[in-house]
Amino acid sequence: MMTYQSQNEATAFITQGSMYAVAEVFMPDVVGDYDDANTIPEWTWIEQNASYQHCSNGEDGVFEFILNLSNAFDAIPERLQPVFEQAKAKNLSYLIFHQGT
């Protein structure tokens, strides 16, 4: 078993100022049922605006994107606007969009 010993036990790597609020969004709740995420315009917009993506890794159905809400977004699709309004009202920092896999 490998253990990690910090060289500086007094260093606080995670502080109050480095903690952010994150929420997840199950896309079928937003856009309804679908067979192929690539056919959904909202997914295309999310993919284009994501700071991080987890997809195309050889696993069927893996399709996850993280949006950093400190970024400015142009032309948020209509069906996604309530999601962003709620995120802003809750002072969230990031949204993870996924399809449940």
pLDDT per residue over 4-16, tens digit each? 565 666 678 888 7
**Domain layout of the chain by residue ranges:** 16-98
pLDDT at position 60 is 62
> Taking a C-beta distance cutoff of 8 angstroms, is the pair 92, 25 a contact?
no
pLDDT per residue over 43-74, tens digit each? 999 999 999 988 766 556 678 999 999 999 99
- The pLDDT-based confidence of 19 (bands split at 50, 70, 90) is confident
For the residues of 19-85, what is the DSSP string, one character each?
A: ---EEEEEHHHHH---S-GGG-HHHHHHHHH-SEEEE-SSSTT-EEEEEETTS--SS--GGGHHHHH
Beta bridge partners of 68: 94
Cα separation, 43 vs 39, in Å, equals 8
28: which 2 tokens?
Answer: 């079928």
pTM: 0.80
